[in-house]
């Protein structure tokens, strides 16, 4: 199979090229037609999979592609005109233009093949030049500028034509137009990958090889030895390399070295076939004379394989990827077999370093960087998963390559650990962590099983898998091919037996511990010990994510708080920020499952604040109405996307977020019903609710929002049964593990919040309420009701007290009347006015406020702390508001700082004790970072059940305002 | 009750020698089999130089007169080493034991070193030997000697790390000698160093803090002012953080100290917060009691926990300290704890009730009806409780303490005019000098 691929790869035939062209153009066409990005991305993803486009689109395609060619032929016409009048200056201009257009055309077609038109023009120019040079007389007559232009043209042409020598030669041999050929195969709609495996017409193959050998001959003219060898080599398909087959020992180290250098030198040059290069190098691996040389060649093979796919946005063909992995594994084999060989990219090794044989004493250095290869491999795997349509079988098959990558990473890690390069080991470990952190135990289990199964399947399965690209036994087989221990007769890939036989030393199979947690622990602790800052941060986030996935909320939260990641995350790269967001989302879900509603809301609310969840989690692109993105931005964004299998279900996330908001917000709204400046817990929720309330008719709920809104309406009336039913009918619950437990929890929470809402709303209408009545109304146990009501009394949310002998709640009816409320507001505004006056005076006189006034001010503050009930609440609110918007962030900032500081974890286990200052001072530093969303996401997360002021848990008795910043003290007593 | 025993958690944070008192206590309480404790004692001793003691224990454990060879060997070795160290440190010790010579020392360290070197040929080697000797003495169980030597060593030593270890040693020695006042001083000194010193790593610092807190338990629960001290120390931001990261079990002591200390009621809120946050990591009846009372308002639960608390206190080496009073043996802390806890329950209960049946209350507080009534009367009399007893129905009726809206507004606006007045005055007085200055300029 490999050879088939290679054959195809290095063929000069026009079919492949034309197909690629087509696809590319179709993409363009889609873009042009639809104009909307959705369509475009659809096509983009299709390029990799299938393409049964309709015919009319192909029409457009043609024209789009032709446009480039038209431009080109126009230029050629200009050149012809210039030739007629012997105008070298404009000729030179046109030539430059032509070259530029050529680049464009090549970019469009994405091929290495130069259009025939161009070659034709080159031939024409060359002939004309020769003619002009021959005509000495005409030359004398030319103006100086014209002569000069002619001279430059001569040189340019000479240089330029060298690149296309082959093509020109071929053109000269058969000047028949091949343009038709270009178009003849357009029905062939195979995609790139499958096409690779398509068996081709043998005649064409032969032809392509002939042309290739011609090319080689041209290149190697004058070098008898090399040329001959090269020729043989290229014809190996029909009859493999007679000379070497007969007597492989004739090949010397120098020959291999020379050839290697030659191939490397050709790299990146125009007209060098990338695939072809890989093939040549692969061949060299088999004739390499020393292990070190083999290693060196392999390094180059791998680099060349990476070159096969030139574009950043598309992924490397999967078969190439697999071969690449195999090559690296062979490299590791060599390194393991000969411990004296060292691969490293810091020093340039000696010229003849690799000549040293296997029995050489001392270290042999080979240039290369295994870690970089691994990272690239990982990158390509990621990219391919991004590009492949997740609903196809192909995607699943691609996912099955993960164990292969794991094996590779494991081996590389072993190697770098052996080399004592712990930094690199940490990086490799991170790659492995990033592959498993998002997998719940079941998925992990599945992967483990798959890996085990692959180990067991025997070579028989291989044949079946040959085309499918199953990673399983391909490895072994390919390996035997690479080392060529026993070349299979069935294959057309018949090389000489390799000089250096590399036995399989490193395991080809990943080993997985029973639990993903165990594996994570091992890797993560290695990273914490040796990794650099970024590696550690990422590992920490993965760790948090994984803990949250395993329902270990408190551990995950502690890790987040102790690591202080939220402090610096906005300075990190975007992909780490995305990881942070993902971890936060997961943490939120975890808190929800653990029935920690306000924590869950804290985690999620920031993600939903801007309505850009998709973007923040890199799970799709959301269109913004307000600013258009440039194509570059879009491209970048697309490159960041998470592959489908890593997605966090957005519907579930939204449901969780809104339900949390509902549970917090409904009682809150009921509590502060006729207070104008009520505290808002969740802005997005309020907005949605407002929109919903504006509707004249409300239909039955359809999406998540509608459901939650319907539940909200029911809940605010105290109808918990209906609210629960609506919530329960959401589809997203199917995605939860332990669905029943979560729903039970939800039921309980809804009842509790319904009780609170009921009390808030109707307590003023009752003189007394009996406990029994409440228990039956909300189906809660007596102790639950008692506990909840007591909490509300202590927090002074409910102005009532128990009458113990009769078991009922007696309300005190201290709710202010409208007039009283206004009076309170008025008084409060007055004091604010005085405050600002004093502050203004302070600012003017430079703080020279003398004794009595200053102390009085402090008094008021104390008073604010000691005052009780609603008044206090209003007062603090006013403070916050009065400070304008700048004060607001401070408000939350202080809150946040408080929570953080208290809960502390003073960077103890994480070696950064930024916390030393204590949390009080936090007000200042946290105000700054409130603006960034990533930061925000955290800000409310903390261990803040108290500070968030969720009515249920607000403090019993506020601590006195102490020497802290004013904002802090005020907010702390905010909910008295 | 062994499940609530914290010895295994505390011991790793203590010095070897400090564990002995804990083991003694356990032995007395018989929470564990005697053999087990004795064995662990021997194990503990094997790393120290208290060989004779180890031999005694060995004898009582196996009930033999035989002593294993290695112990006797070790004894010889210890004695030899003691000799050699003594010799090395002899000149300095001689110097220090001579009061007239000690008079020559001044507060200037450099001067002292110079002087010792010049006049008495005592160099850094001898000073180092003094440290080693003191350490050896400590390990042999001669705490008072060790404490003296370490004190003097500190006066002469220039190496700050060594000085720190010397301080730790001194603290341990003072604790073991039960000199609580001195120990408290040393503790504060050590704390200052830990907080001020730039430790190599925060981890190191954290570890030191954890140690310090564990060691301080000895002092705080024995020193007369310890109950304030423990709150002051443990509630400091950094120490609270250390508790939360490294020593969750210390919450028991913090909670106890807060409950027992009447004047530090304001700490309760903070404590409850911490307890709630850490409840996944640490739980014992005392913290659960707080949780029941201040988070769930579950009074029956609190009542149940209170009974368990008593057991825990009695079996805790720090809390369950016994005091001989005449013929009684009492645990003062337990009594205080129970009294205060009861008060807490009652207080919270009163806050959310307007009418309480005394009989029920008596039930809850484990008192008889009359006792309960007397107790309440006392509370009312001491103005701790705004309530009246309705004796016909046998209930307590709480006074309402809601300030009316009018009062609130009056309260809030009362000082507004005063403030305005002062402000106006200030503005005026600030304006006068400038006006004067302006006019004088003109003149």
pLDDT tens figures, B164-184? 888 888 898 888 888 888 888
Please list every residue in chain A whose beta carbon sits closer than 8 Å to the beta carbon of residue B246. 908
Tell me, letter by letter, the H, E, C secondary structure of A807-872.
Answer: CEEEECCCCCCHHHHHHHHHHHHHHHHHHHHHHHHHHHHCCCCCHHHHHHHHHHHHHHHHCCHHHH
In whole angstroms, give the CA distance from residue A370 to residue A667. 59
Q: Which of B245, B362, B421 to mutate to test the interface with A (most CBs of A within 10 A)?
A: B245
* Per-residue pLDDT reduced to its tens digit, B386-409: 788 888 888 888 876 666 778 878
Return residues 824-843 of A near B (CB < 8 Å). 824, 827-828, 830-831, 834, 837-838, 841
* Per-residue pLDDT reduced to its tens digit, A471-509: 333 333 333 333 333 333 333 334 445 566 667 777 777
Q: What is the mean pLDDT of chain B?
A: 82
- Is 60 exceeded by the pLDDT of residue A638? yes
**Picking from B76-80, B111-115, B419-423, which range would have the lowest pLDDT averaged per residue?**
B111-115
Token pair recorded at residue A243 = 């000379």
For helices A574-593 and A553-563, give the axis angle rounded to 10 degrees: 150
Q: Are B412 and A909 a contacting pair at CB < 8 A? A: no
DSSP H helical segments within B247-383, as ranges?
251-260, 267-278, 285-291, 299-314, 332-351, 358-364, 369-381
Return residues 41-80 of A near B (CB < 8 Å). none
Q: What is the DSSP code (8-state) at residue A765?
A: G
B277 → closest Cβ in A793, A918, A943: A943
**What phi, psi does B354 have (nearest 5°)?**
-110, -10
Contacts of A320 (CB under 8 A, 6+ apart): A5, A278, A305, A308, A309
Q: What is the mean pLDDT of chain A?
A: 68
A834 → closest Cβ in B402, B411, B420: B420
**Picking from A216-220, A262-266, A691-695, which range would have the lowest pLDDT averaged per residue?**
A216-220
CB of A914 within 8 A of CB of A907? yes
**ipTM score for this prediction:** 0.76
In whole angstroms, give the CA distance from residue A860 to residue A831. 9
* Per-residue pLDDT reduced to its tens digit, A866-882: 333 333 333 333 333 33
Please list every residue in chain A whose beta carbon sits closer than 8 Å to the beta carbon of residue B386. none
Q: Are B273 and A834 a contacting pair at CB < 8 A? A: no
- Quickly tell me which residue has 């993105």 as its tokens: A629
> What pLDDT band is residue A540 in, cutting at 50, 70 and 90?
very high
Token pair recorded at residue B385 = 């409780």
**What phi, psi does B396 have (nearest 5°)?**
-105, 130
From B18, B25, B27, select the one nearest B176 (Cα to Cα): B18
Q: Are B238 and A804 a contacting pair at CB < 8 A? A: no
**In this predicted structure, what is the pLDDT of residue A586?**
92
Task: List Cβ<8 Å contacts ≥24 apart for A83-88.
Answer: A83/A124, A83/A125, A83/A128, A86/A132, A86/A138, A86/A142, A86/A146, A87/A146, A88/A142, A88/A146, A88/A147, A88/A149, A88/A150, A88/A153
* Per-residue pLDDT reduced to its tens digit, A778-833: 888 888 898 888 888 888 788 888 887 888 888 876 666 778 888 888 888 888 88
* Nearest-by-CA chain A residue for B281: A554
Please list every residue in chain A whose beta carbon sits closer than 8 Å to the beta carbon of residue B397. none
Residue B3 C-alpha from the chain's centroid: 23
Q: Are B238 and A783 a contacting pair at CB < 8 A? A: no
Q: Are A802 and B298 a contacting pair at CB < 8 A? A: no
Return residues 887-906 of A near B (CB < 8 Å). 901-906
| Chain B CB within 8 Å of residue A791 CB | yes
* Nearest-by-CA chain B residue for A912: B202
Q: Are B413 and A852 a contacting pair at CB < 8 A? A: no
**C-alpha dihedral (A119, A124, A126, A128), degrees to nearest 10:** -170
**Picking from A265-269, A531-535, A548-552, B156-160, which range would have the lowest pLDDT averaged per residue?**
A265-269
Q: Are A824 and B405 a contacting pair at CB < 8 A? A: yes
* Nearest-by-CA chain B residue for A861: B412
For helices A370-387 and A318-337, give the axis angle rounded to 10 degrees: 160
> What pLDDT band is residue A278 in, cutting at 50, 70 and 90?
confident
* Per-residue pLDDT reduced to its tens digit, A547-603: 999 888 888 988 888 888 888 888 888 889 999 999 999 999 999 998 889 889 989
* Per-residue pLDDT reduced to its tens digit, B218-238: 888 888 888 888 888 888 888
**In this predicted structure, what is the pLDDT of residue B39?**
84
**In this predicted structure, what is the pLDDT of residue A658?**
92
Contacts of A731 (CB under 8 A, 6+ apart): A651
> What pLDDT band is residue A351 in, cutting at 50, 70 and 90?
low
**In this predicted structure, what is the pLDDT of residue B31?**
78
A804 → closest Cβ in B202, B280, B360: B360
Q: How far is the CA of B110 from the CAs of B107, B119, B158, in angstroms?
A: 9, 14, 9
In chain A, what is the straight-line distance between the N-terminal and C-terminal CA atoms, in Å?
A: 76
* Residue A769: strand pairing partners: A809
Tell me the residue length of chain B: 443
Q: What pTM was estimated for this model as a whole?
A: 0.66
In whole angstroms, give the CA distance from residue A752 to residue B45. 58
Please list every residue in chain A whose beta carbon sits closer than 8 Å to the beta carbon of residue B408. 824, 867, 869, 871
CB of A41 within 8 A of CB of A639? no
Contacts of B114 (CB under 8 A, 6+ apart): none
Q: Are A783 and B298 a contacting pair at CB < 8 A? A: yes
Q: Which of A555, A801, A807, A861 to mutate to test the interface with B (most CBs of B within 10 A)?
A: A801
Q: Are B416 and A916 a contacting pair at CB < 8 A? A: no
CB of A693 within 8 A of CB of A704? no
In whole angstroms, give the CA distance from residue B1 to residue B192. 37
Q: Which of A790, A821, A849, A955 to mutate to test the interface with B (most CBs of B within 10 A)?
A: A790
Please list every residue in chain A whose beta carbon sits closer than 8 Å to the beta carbon of residue B412. 827-828, 831, 863, 867, 871
- Is 80 exceeded by the pLDDT of residue A228? no
CB of B85 within 8 A of CB of B129? yes
- Is 90 exceeded by the pLDDT of residue A204? no
Q: Å from B20 to nearest chain A CA?
A: 30
> What pLDDT band is residue A355 in, cutting at 50, 70 and 90?
low
Q: Are A804 and B266 a contacting pair at CB < 8 A? A: no
Total CB pairs under 8 A between chain A and B: 164
Average pLDDT over residues A331-344: 82
Please list every residue in chain A whose beta carbon sits closer than 8 Å to the beta carbon of residue B238. 906, 915-916, 918
Q: Which of B197, B198, B202, B208 to mutate to test the interface with A (most CBs of A within 10 A)?
A: B202
For helices A851-866 and A869-882, give the axis angle rounded to 10 degrees: 120
Q: Å from B237 to nearest chain A CA?
A: 6
């Amino acid at each position: 199979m490999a050879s088939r691929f290679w054959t195809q790869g290095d063929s000069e035939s026009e079919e492949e090229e034309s197909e690629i062209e087509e696809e590319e153009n179709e993409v363009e066409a889609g873009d042009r037609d639809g104009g909307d990005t959705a369509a475009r991305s659809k096509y983009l993803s299709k390029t990799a999979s299938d393409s049964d486009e309709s015919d009319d689109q192909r029409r457009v395609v043609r024209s789009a592609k032709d446009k480039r060619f038209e431009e080109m032929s126009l230029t050629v016409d200009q050149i012809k005109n210039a030739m007629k009048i012997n105008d070298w200056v404009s000729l030179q201009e046109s030539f430059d233009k032509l070259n530029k257009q050529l680049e464009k055309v090549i970019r469009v077609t994405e091929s290495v093949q130069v259009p025939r038109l161009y070659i034709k023009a080159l031939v024409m120019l060359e002939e004309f030049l020769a003619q002009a040079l021959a005509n000495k007389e005409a030359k004398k007559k030319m103006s100086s500028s014209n002569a000069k232009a002619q001279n430059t043209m001569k040189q340019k042409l000479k240089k330029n034509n060298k690149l296309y020598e082959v093509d020109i030669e071929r053109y000269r041999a058969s000047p028949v137009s091949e343009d038709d050929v270009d178009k003849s195969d357009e029905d062939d709609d195979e995609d790139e990958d499958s096409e690779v495996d398509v068996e081709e017409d043998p005649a064409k193959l032969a032809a392509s090889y002939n042309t290739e050998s011609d090319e080689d001959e041209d290149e190697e003219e004058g070098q008898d030895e090399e040329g001959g060898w090269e020729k043989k080599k290229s014809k190996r398909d029909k009859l493999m390399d007679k000379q070497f087959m007969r007597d492989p020992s004739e090949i010397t180290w120098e020959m291999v070295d020379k050839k290697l250098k030659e191939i490397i030198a050709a790299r990146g040059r125009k007209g060098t076939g990338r695939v072809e290069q890989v093939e040549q190098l692969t061949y060299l691996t088999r004739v390499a004379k020393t292990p070190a040389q083999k290693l060196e060649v392999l390094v180059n093979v791998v680099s060349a394989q990476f070159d096969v796919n030139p574009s950043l946005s598309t992924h490397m063909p999967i078969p190439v990827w697999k071969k690449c992995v195999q090559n690296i594994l062979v490299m590791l084999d060599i390194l393991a077999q000969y411990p004296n060989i060292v691969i490293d990219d810091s020093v340039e090794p000696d010229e003849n370093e690799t000549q040293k044989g296997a029995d050489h004493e001392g270290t042999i250095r080979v240039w290369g960087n295994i870690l970089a290869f691994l990272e690239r491999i990982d990158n390509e795997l990621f990219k391919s998963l991004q590009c492949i349509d997740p609903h196809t079988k192909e995607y699943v098959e691609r996912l099955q390559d993960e164990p292969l990558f794991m094996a590779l990473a494991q081996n590389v890690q072993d190697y770098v650990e052996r080399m004592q390069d712990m930094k690199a080991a940490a990086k490799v470990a991170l790659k492995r962590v990033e592959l498993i952190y998002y997998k719940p135990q079941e998925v992990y289990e599945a992967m483990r099983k798959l890996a085990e199964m692959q180990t067991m399947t025997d070579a028989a399965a291989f044949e079946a898998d040959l085309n499918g690209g199953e990673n399983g036994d391909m490895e072994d087989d390919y390996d035997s091919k690479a080392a060529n221990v026993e070349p299979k007769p069935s294959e057309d890939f018949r090389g000489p037996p390799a000089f250096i036989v590399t036995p399989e030393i490193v395991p080809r199979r990943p080993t997985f511990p029973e639990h993903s947690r165990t594996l994570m622990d091992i890797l993560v602790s290695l990273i914490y010990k040796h990794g650099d800052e970024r590696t550690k941060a990422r590992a920490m986030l993965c760790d948090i994510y994984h803990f949250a996935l395993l329902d270990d909320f408190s551990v995950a939260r502690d890790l987040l708080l102790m690591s202080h990641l939220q402090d610096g995350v906005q300075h990190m790269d975007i992909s780490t920020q995305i990881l942070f967001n993902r971890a936060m989302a997961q943490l939120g879900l975890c808190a929800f499952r653990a029935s920690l509603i306000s924590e869950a809301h804290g985690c999620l609310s920031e993600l939903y604040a801007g309505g850009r969840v998709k973007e923040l989690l890199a799970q799709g692109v959301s269109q913004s109405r307000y600013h258009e993105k440039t194509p570059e931005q879009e491209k970048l964004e697309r490159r960041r996307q998470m592959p489908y299998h890593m997605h966090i279900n957005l519907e579930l996330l939204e449901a969780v977020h809104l339900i949390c908001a509902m549970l917090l917000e409904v009682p809150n709204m009921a509590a502060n019903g006729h207070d104008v400046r009520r505290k808002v817990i969740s802005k997005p929720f309020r907005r949605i609710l407002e929109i919903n309330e504006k509707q004249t008719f409300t239909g039955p709920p359809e999406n998540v929002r509608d459901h939650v809104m319907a539940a909200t309406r029911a809940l605010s009336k105290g109808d918990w049964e209906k609210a629960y039913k609506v919530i329960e009918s959401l589809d997203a619950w199917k995605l939860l593990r332990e669905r029943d437990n979560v729903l039970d929890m939800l039921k309980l929470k809804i009842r509790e919040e319904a009780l609170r809402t009921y009390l808030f709303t109707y307590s003023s209408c009752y003189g007394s309420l009996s406990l029994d009545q409440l228990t039956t109304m909300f189906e809660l146990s007596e102790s639950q009701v008692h506990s909840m009501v007591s909490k509300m009394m202590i927090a002074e949310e409910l102005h009532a007290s128990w009458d113990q002998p009769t078991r009922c709640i007696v309300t005190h009816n201290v709710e202010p009347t409208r007039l009283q409320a206004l009076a309170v507001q008025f008084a409060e505004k007055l004091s604010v006015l005085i405050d600002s006056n004093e502050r203004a005076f302070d600012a003017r006189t430079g703080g020279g406020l003398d004794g009595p006034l200053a102390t009085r001010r402090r008094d008021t503050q104390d008073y604010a702390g000691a005052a009780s009930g609603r008044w206090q609440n209003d007062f603090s609110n006013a403070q916050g508001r009065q400070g304008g918007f700048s004060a607001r962030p401070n408000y939350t900032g202080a809150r946040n700082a408080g929570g953080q500081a208290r809960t502390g974890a003073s960077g103890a286990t994480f070696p950064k004790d930024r916390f030393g200052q204590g949390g009080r001072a936090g007000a200042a530093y946290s105000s700054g970072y409130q603006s960034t969303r990533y930061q925000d996401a955290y800000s409310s997360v903390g261990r803040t059940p108290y500070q968030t002021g969720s009515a249920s848990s607000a403090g019993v008795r506020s601590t006195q305002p102490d020497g802290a910043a004013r904002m802090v003290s005020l907010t702390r007593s905010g909910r008295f | 009750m062994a499940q609530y025993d914290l010895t295994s958690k505390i011991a790793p944070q203590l010095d070897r020698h400090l564990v002995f008192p804990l083991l003694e206590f356990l032995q007395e309480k018989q929470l564990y089999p005697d053999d087990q404790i004795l064995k662990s004692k021997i194990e503990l001793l094997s790393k120290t130089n208290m060989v004779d003691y180890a031999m005694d224990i060995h004898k009582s454990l196996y009930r033999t007169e035989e002593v294993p060879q290695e112990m006797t060997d070790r004894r010889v070795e210890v004695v030899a080493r003691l000799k050699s160290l003594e010799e090395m440190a002899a000149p300095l010790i001689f110097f220090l034991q001579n009061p007239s010579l000690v008079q020559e020392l001044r507060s200037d360290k450099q001067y002292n070193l110079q002087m010792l070197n010049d006049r008495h040929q005592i160099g850094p080697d001898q000073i180092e030997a003094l440290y080693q000797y003191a350490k050896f003495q400590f390990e042999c169980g001669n705490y008072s000697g060790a404490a003296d030597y370490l004190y003097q060593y500190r006066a002469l030593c220039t190496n700050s790390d060594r000085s720190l270890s010397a301080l730790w040693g001194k603290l341990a020695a003072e604790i073991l000698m039960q000199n609580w006042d001195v120990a408290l001083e040393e503790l504060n000194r050590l704390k200052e160093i830990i907080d001020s010193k730039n430790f190599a790593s925060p981890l190191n610092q954290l570890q030191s803090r954890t140690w310090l807190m564990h060691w301080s338990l000895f002092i705080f629960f024995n020193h007369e002012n310890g109950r304030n001290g423990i709150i002051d120390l443990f509630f400091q931001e950094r120490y609270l953080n250390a508790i939360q990261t490294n020593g969750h079990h210390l919450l028991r002591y913090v909670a106890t100290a807060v409950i027992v200390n009447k004047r530090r009621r304001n700490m309760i809120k903070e404590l409850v917060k911490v307890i709630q946050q850490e409840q996944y990591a640490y739980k014992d009846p005392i913290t659960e009691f707080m949780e029941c009372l201040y988070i769930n308002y579950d009074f029956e639960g609190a009542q149940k926990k209170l009974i368990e608390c008593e057991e825990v206190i009695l079996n805790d080496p720090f809390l369950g300290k016994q005091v001989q009073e005449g013929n009684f043996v009492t645990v003062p802390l337990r009594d205080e704890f129970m009294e205060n806890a009861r008060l807490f329950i009652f207080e919270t209960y009163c806050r959310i009730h307007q009418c309480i049946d005394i009989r029920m209350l008596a039930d809850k507080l484990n008192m008889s009806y009359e006792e309960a009534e007397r107790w309440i009367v006392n509370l009312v009399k001491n103005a701790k409780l705004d309530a009246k007893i309705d004796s016909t129905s046998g209930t307590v009726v709480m006074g309402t303490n809601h300030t009316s809206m009018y009062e609130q507004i009056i309260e809030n606006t009362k000082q507004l005019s005063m403030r305005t007045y002062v402000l106006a005055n200030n503005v005026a007085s600030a304006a006068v000098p400038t006006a004067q200055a302006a006019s004088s300029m003109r003149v």
